[in-house]
Amino acid sequence: MERTLRQGLGKKRQYEISAVLGFISLILVMYIIAPLLHEFLHLVVLKITGCLYTIDLGFKWYAGIYGRVELFSSIGFIGTIILLGIGILGNLFLGSALFIHGRRMRLSGMHAKSNVIAFTGLGFFLNPTSYFFSRSGDLINILKLMHALNMSFLLPVMGFFMFLLALIYLYEHSSHIIEEYRRIKLIENEIEHFLYSINSK
């Protein structure tokens, strides 16, 4: 009986480890992995179109990895729109997919494991969201290309709602995880107290 009870211990530690790993994943994805994916998707479009280019990668402590691509041939209006938008859309799509997968994991009972997935998705989602608040970059270049720069005031509005959506998801996920963690902690404390009372007799 004592061995069976002790096997039930340790879940609390799993939640703590997953929270730390989730936070590390968030930072790594937001500042390194998502920007690299962003630039990689640009290169995929350029490879498909056969356009000649050079790329220069850099790093800023407040923005993470960034890239500058210089084209040596034209890929047309539609091709340029796709080129400019693919990096942002790719990260938003991946972040949203991980949001959904993380929620499904949590609802299926894999609360601790869903932490890393949810925070990784948050990193992929927040990185492109920052473009909506920038006065330069891919989105601004798309508006310039479409002669719609006067509509740029809508970008921060869209960014605000996207950021709000991410915060709502984070609040919902975290509140459920914290509640489950407290429940597990209470159960483990009761088990430890019970085992202590048995061994002390």
The answer on pLDDT for 116 being more than 60 is: yes
In this prediction, residue 149 carries a pLDDT of 94
H or E element, residue 181: helix 154-199
Question: Residue 9 carries which DSSP code?
Answer: T
Q: How many domains does the chain have?
A: 1
95 is a domain residue: yes
Q: Is residue 174 part of a domain?
A: yes
Q: What is the pTM (predicted TM-score) of this model?
A: 0.85
For position 193, what pLDDT does the model report? Answer: 74
How confident is the model over 38-64, as a mean pLDDT?
87
Find the length of the chain. 201
Q: Residue 9 — pLDDT band, cuts 50, 70, 90? A: low
Would you say residue 35 lies in a domain? yes
Residue 143 CB coordination number (10 Å): 17
Write down the pLDDT at residue 144: 95
Q: 88 lies in which domain range?
A: 2-48+76-199
Q: How confident is the model at residue 188 (pLDDT cuts 50, 70, 90)?
A: confident
Q: Look at 195 and 111; give whichever has higher pLDDT.
A: 111
Average pLDDT, the chain: 88
Kind and range of the H or E run holding 96: helix 76-107
Any domain includes 90: yes
- Residue ranges with strand state E in 11-63: 53-60
What is the C-alpha to C-alpha distance for residues 37 and 52, in angstroms, rounded to an integer? Answer: 20
Kindly tell me if the per-residue pLDDT of 141 is higher than 90. yes
Residue 127 lies in a domain: yes
Does some domain include residue 63? no
Q: Mind listing the pLDDT tens digit for each residue in 57-94?
A: 888 776 678 888 888 888 999 999 999 999 999 999 99
172 found inside a domain:
yes
